[in-house]
A = this chain, B = another copy of it.
Amino acid sequence: MPSIINRSSILLQSKLFRGFGDPARLTILQALRNNPLTVTEIVAVSGLSQPNTSNHLRCLRECGLVTAEQQGKFVTYRLSDQRIATLLELGEALLMDTARGVYECTHYTLSQHEPSPDSKTSNDQSVS
């Protein structure tokens, strides 16, 4: 009876999934799902601040989830592997059935900083 499952493998895998487990990074990954984008475009589409976007891009790049290619002053990012898109799809499919449970899950707070598109006033209505 194996007492421990596979420590370091588990740690690696959890790190991988944590790449997907943040709204900002997931937004970026979803944006890159269909086509490569420059940082400027990602900032525009995601609504994230530029430094925040760069921070998360670095994280995703270092983890090997995206690749970067510099062209002049622009840097174009793209998913490094098609299976990442597959993983996103699988997550969506799973969510179709478990959405209610996930939504009602109080273990995590649902809403983050919530950058409102039209104003800077409304923020942080937490669930838990």
Contact = CB atoms under 8 A, between A and B. Distances in A.
Interface of A: 1-7, 9-23, 25-27, 30-31, 44-47, 58-59, 62-65, 80-81, 83-84, 86-88, 90-95, 97-108, 110-112, 114, 117
B110 A15 contact: yes
Given A65-B98, A107-B62, A5 B27 contact: yes
Contacts of A1: 44-45
Given A3-B117, A17-B26, 11 more contacts: A1-B44, A3-B44, A4-B45, A7-B114, A10-B23, A12-B95, A18-B21, A18-B22, A63-B107, A64-B98, A64-B101
Protomer copies: 2
Given A11-B110, A13-B26, A18-B108, A81 B98 contact: yes
Contacts of A114: 7
